[in-house]
Chain A
Amino acid sequence: DAKTTQPPSMDCAEGRAANLPCNHSTISGNEYVYWYRQIHSQGPQYIIHGLKNNETNEMASLIITEDRKSSTLILPHATLRDTAVYYCIVSPDSNYQLIWGAGTKLIIKP
């Protein structure tokens, strides 16, 4: 079973910030939170990952709550190309057996 809970779908207006929530209430102290996305018919693409601190890169920001039981992925200025399924994943002992849930289908609307 996936160790994360995400809403099945979300809409966001183009140019707005897209905020994708993820619950991981059973996360262990040494487990990382990873975010990937999958555009239709393509392989998944890494976005960002973090342990405790908030992280930012050229694609997105990751906000992790202080108790680490939930996180939010923020796409600051969504474009139509950001339409995809977004997966929030908590890593077990190593990153090889990432457990993938169904993700959130994000639709960016013009």
Chain B
Amino acid sequence: GAGVSQSPSNKVTEKGKDVELRCDPISGHTALYWYRQSLGQGLEFLIYFQGNSAPDKSGLPSDRFSAERTGGSVSTLTIQRTQQEDSAVYLCASSLNSGQGAGELFFGEGSRLTVL
């Protein structure tokens, strides 16, 4: 497809389980971003990739969160030992590059995570 694709669209899990969220960016986009959005809130930055490297992981809320990107394309966000406060919509975005004023971020539809 032409846009950013995320899967699963919805995930319900039990507290303590691990989850993996996948993002397939727009072909040719070198920059990839993960954000989190809790109900009624703005977006919270988690991590950003330029190619396969992650220059800034400062937004990851704890060491239970990790992300990787392979082949400069698909990225996976992993949450280990999920907690109820991890419940949110996880949004992925991509852009051609990441420089200042580089222009628009293209967002996927998000993965809604519910931890019971």
Q: Which residues of A contact B (CB under 8 A)?
A: 2, 30, 32, 36, 42-46, 49, 51, 87, 91, 93-103
**Which of A2, A45, A46, A51 has the most chain B CB within a 10 Å cutoff?**
A46
Q: Are B105 and A95 in contact (CB under 8 A)?
A: yes
Residue ID in chain A nearest B50 by CB atoms: A96
Q: Within B10-63, which residues are at the interface with A (CB < 8 Å)?
A: 31, 33, 35, 41-45, 48, 56, 59
Chain B interface size band reads 20 to 34
**B106:A96 contact, CB within 8 angstroms:** no
**B71 at interface, CB cutoff 8 A:** no
Question: Interface on chain A toward B: helix, strand, loop, or mixed SS?
Answer: loop
B100 pairs with A43, CB closer than 8 A = no
Q: Which of these, B42, B102, B103, B108, contacts A100 with CB under 8 Å?
A: B42
Contact B42 A43 (CB under 8 A): no
Q: Map CB proximity to A onto B93-116 as digits: 1 under 8 Å, 0 otherwise.
A: 101001111111111111000000
Residue B91 CB within 8 A of the other chain: yes
Give the complex CA separation of A101 and B91 in angstroms. 16
Distance between Cα atoms of A93 and B110 in the complex (Å): 26
Which residues on the B side are within 8 Å of A32 (C-beta)?
100-101
Known interface pairs A43-B108, A97-B59; A102-B101 also in contact (CB < 8 Å): no
Bound complex: CA A102 to CA B41 (Å): 6
